[in-house]
Amino acid sequence: MIKKAFLLIAFPLVFLAGCGIYSFTGGSISAGMKTVSVLVFENTAALVNPNLSQSFTESLKDRIRTQTSLSFVRVDGDADFSGRITDYNLQPVAIQANEQVTAGLTRLSITVNVKYTNKLEADKSFEQSFTRFKDFSTQGSPFSGQEAALVKDINQQLTEDIYNRAFANW
């Protein structure tokens, strides 16, 4: 009876103690890192969405805010993110044949060049371009009616890629 009681108490304690070394977010933030700065990503793409610079920057900040306990500073954080949006592109990906040839699906692509500086472990710093896209149909509604939702989805994918590259070593 005592052995059973011991096992009922000991097993959960061992299990919970083992969970302390893992992170549910998959993050691997440098020891001693406490602050992060994210500068506004300038939009230098040929096709310009006037809200993209602000929405992408805020999406990256939100990703870091929800996945880490780092404090934000305006400049000179232990980790710094900066960069620019280099491409915002629409192109047909599937042709639909009816009375006139039209695009059945169109692809919105966004490319962001990111410079990440890790001041505590310089070997983890990088400068890299990230591209993500989303296919959509204009049969139900025009692009202008879908653009905000498409950009939001792509921003989430891009910020996940950037976060993983900076903090999860993926």
Using the predicted structure, report yes or no on whether residue 10 has a pLDDT greater than 70.
Answer: no
Question: Quick one: pLDDT at residue 19?
Answer: 43
Smallest CA-to-CA distance from 40 within 1, 5, 75, 64 is with 75
Which one has a higher pLDDT value, 102 or 116? 116
Arithmetic mean of pLDDT, 19-25:
40
Question: Quick one: pLDDT at residue 22?
Answer: 37
Question: Quick one: pLDDT at residue 14?
Answer: 47
Q: Compute the distance between CA of residue 44 and CA of residue 25 in angstroms, rounded to an integer.
A: 32
Q: Compute the distance between CA of residue 78 and CA of residue 148 in angstroms, rounded to an integer.
A: 33
Question: Quick one: pLDDT at residue 139?
Answer: 82
Lookup: tokens for 119: 């001041």
Average of per-residue pLDDT values in the chain = 85
Lookup: tokens for 132: 């993500």
42 Cβ neighbours under 8 A, 6+ residues apart: 53, 84, 85
pLDDT tens figures, 42-74: 999 999 999 999 999 999 999 999 999 999 999
pLDDT tens figures, 77-111: 999 999 999 999 999 987 665 555 455 799 999 99
Structural domains for the chain: 2-168 (3.30.160.150)
Which one has a higher pLDDT value, 90 or 25? 90
